[in-house]
Amino acid sequence: MNISQSGETPSEQLYGRPFFIFFIALLCYMGGSSMLVHLRKYLTTAGGSVSTISWVFGIGMVGSIVTRPYVGTSIDRFGCSRILKMATLLGTLSIVGFLISSNLWLICSLRVIFQLSQATFLAAGAVAAARIAPKGRSAECLAMLGLGGLLGLMTGPMIGDLIFSIYAESDGRFLVFFLTAATMMLVSLMFVSCVKVPEITQADRHRHNFFAVVMRHKPGPIVIMAFCLAMAQTIPVMFIEGFAHTRNLDGVTMFFLAYSPTAIILRVLLRRLPAYIGRRRTLLLGMTAYPIGMFLLTRVQGTSGLILPAIVMGFGHCFTYPFLVDLAAESMPPQHRGVATALILGVLDFGFLSGFISIGMLTKWHGFDVSLRIVAATVMTGVAAYAWTQRGLFQPLRPLAESD
């Protein structure tokens, strides 16, 4: 393998020009893509029922899972920069495609294409973050770049709400909506095109298919943590609204006003924590917070009671995803980092899909309290299993900080 001449060798400065360019690109991409939480409104006007809408969203996730292996090998073969540009352009075209689509099957197909774009962008983005970071600071780089994604996830739905509050359907609200989302994606494409990522190219003899690479290098117990994290995150992603409804609370605004700012502020203030206690301890700390937050949710009786569980789970969000992806990517050689990243993101997708189905069924049969306790116990079991397999985890902090 070798570093290609198309990229730049990572500097010793993390917060330089490449970082901030990519930060804006990620913010704009996630802002445009998160606007599609309002896609349900468009599907309803096209004649979609509740079950049809669920199928549209579900099929998109399955498409993402299936294509993960090809995304990983494509990153390793063609480079991050090309894949990032291709994914952003594909996402933009799929959003524009909604404007000319009134058939539900066509909308469903476009949703699949969009999910493929998002899965590809996030996988390539994670690899790019590791390559533009100075040595030993890839997890910090991924965590801080993730703030751009969090800000995009917050602003996208708000922009959509603003558009739907100003424009009526007769005023072309969906035209404005989709053009705004597509414009944000195009701005992201512009910034992505300016990022120069150091590329690690493979000789032809080193190119293998996804499953051969995974079987050869065996990423190990980190896969368990990815599945458990996805199961835990299904609560704030999908089920918190239904929980609030069954408790007769005043919506979920209070939860997210505590959840998102907690994740953002702590990620900034404690960005160097892994340098002192190690990435594995940091990941375990975040993963333990999720079950605690779930148990706290079972005690909620009023709207203000959502604040404490939200803060605890926001703490968990802060200390999980970037360190999970970084540890997973490190489990394979540098020339296969794309495969490792795609694998762990694919496991996350599968965990979300499993969580949506299993938690939904448990809630239907036994209610939210029982399902929350079962998921919390499952996550804690996975955390304990991972901790048991980690050599040196319980040694003094100083040796771990140096080696991890």
DSSP 237-252: IIIHHHHHHHTT-S-S
Does the pLDDT at position 10 exceed 60?
no
Q: What is the mean pLDDT of residues 65-79?
A: 73
**What are the structure tokens assigned to 388, written together?**
């048991």
Amino acid identity, position 335: Q
Residues 6+ apart with CB under 8 A from 214: 339, 343
Domains of the chain: 2-205 (1.20.1250.20), 214-392 (1.20.1250.20)
pLDDT of amino acid 89: 93
For residues 26 and 149, the answer to whether their CB atoms sit within 8 Å is: yes
Q: What angle do CA 31, 260, 151 make, to 5 degrees?
A: 25
pLDDT of amino acid 308: 92
**Kind and range of the H or E run holding 200:** strand 200-201
For residues 286 and 323, the answer to whether their CB atoms sit within 8 Å is: yes
**Which has the minimum average pLDDT: 105-114, 261-270, 285-294, 382-391?**
105-114
Cα torsion for 263, 264, 266, 271, to the nearest 10°? 120
For residues 376 and 294, the answer to whether their CB atoms sit within 8 Å is: yes
The residue written with tokens 């006003």 in the block is: 257
pLDDT tier, 188 (very low <50, low <70, confident <90, very high otherwise): very high
pLDDT tier, 29 (very low <50, low <70, confident <90, very high otherwise): very high
**What are the structure tokens assigned to 332, written together?**
């394979």
Burial of 201: CB neighbours in 10 Å, binned 0-12, 13-18, 19+: middle
**Which has the minimum average pLDDT: 14-18, 67-71, 213-217?**
213-217
| Whole-number percent of the chain with pLDDT over 90 | 12
CA separation for the pair 14, 11 (Å, rounded): 7
pLDDT in tens, 240-291: 767 777 888 776 677 777 887 888 888 888 877 777 788 888 889 999 999 9
CA separation for the pair 83, 80 (Å, rounded): 5
Does the pLDDT at position 119 exceed 90?
no
Residues 6+ apart with CB under 8 A from 296: 308, 309, 312
Residues 6+ apart with CB under 8 A from 279: 139, 323, 326, 327, 404
